[in-house]
Amino acid sequence: MLTHTSSCSGKPFGETDTPKREIAKTTLKEPNAFLPNLGYNAGLYLYAPFKEIYPVQAYDRQKFSEAIDQLPDTSGGPTLLMQALIKLEPILKDLSGRTAVFIVSDGNYTKMEGFKEPEQKAKELSAEYSTCFYYLSNADTEREKRNLMDLAKGSECSRVIPFESYVNRLEYTSGALFVVQGDHAGP
């Protein structure tokens, strides 16, 4: 999971007075409370600026909850999405199997001179490391929404999920981590 506390994360969420970063923190805590431990790894990183909060390791509900509590309560600075994708690569390199990366983003990012666009880097990471990106979008403008859609085009399994949909239906992304199969036997 990559999340940020750049200056745009201090903007109110929807029609509320609550900053987007607080809503993001709450919506990370809630699914963590019911997420089954199925032997997978998890990690939590801040990407504006890039900081390891919970390095990728065997998922532990309590430790992950404590890591979420460590996310900053203030906002400020640029959104360095490209830097985050570059710093994500060595982490992905050491993982095996399919990887799901959740990125909380408003689709805004600071361009880094001399580097590719983030959508090209995300496409490369998806192909090289069998990675699906799930962009939890709290974009406000059409340009920001378009930026996220361009990022998601990097692979068939990547998705943009409106943050409001995720907030209201936290199980929205559970299919990226596990699938519940029911008994289809009929009478």
Could you tell me the pLDDT band of residue 186, with boundaries at 50, 70 and 90? very low
DSSP string for residues in 132-186: EEEEEE---SHHHHHHHHHHHTTSTT-EEEEHHHHHH-GGGGGGGT---------
Domain assignment present for 182: no
Domain assignment present for 177: no
Kind of pairing, strands 131-137 and 50-58? unpaired
What average pLDDT does this structure show over 52-71?
Answer: 91
Domain assignment present for 187: no
**How far apart (Å, rounded) are the C-alpha atoms in residues 61 and 141?**
35
Burial of 135 (0-12, 13-18, 19+ CB in 10 A): buried
- CATH number of the domain encompassing residue 157: 3.40.50.410
Could you tell me the pLDDT band of residue 4, with boundaries at 50, 70 and 90? low
pLDDT at 130: 92
Cβ contacts of 116 within 8 Å, gap of 6 or more: 82
Domain assignment present for 176: no
Domain assignment present for 91: yes
Kindly list the distances between the CA atom of residue 180 and the CA atoms of 9, 14, 175, in Å, as whole numbers in the listed order.
33, 31, 8
This prediction has a pTM of 0.80
More confident residue, 35 or 142: 142
Range of the domain at 87: 2-171
Could you tell me the pLDDT band of residue 88, with boundaries at 50, 70 and 90? very high
Beta-carbon-side half-sphere exposure of residue 127 (alpha carbons within 13 Å): 8
pLDDT digits (tens, 9 = 90+) for 8-28: 555 666 677 777 677 777 777
Domain assignment present for 33: yes
Domain count of the fold of the chain: 1
What count of other Cβ atoms lies within 10 Å of the Cβ of residue 58?
Answer: 10
Cis peptide, bond prior to residue 78, ω within 30 of zero: no
Evaluate if residue 165 carries a pLDDT over 70.
yes
DSSP-assigned letter for residue 12: B
pLDDT at 146: 93
pLDDT digits (tens, 9 = 90+) for 48-59: 778 899 999 999
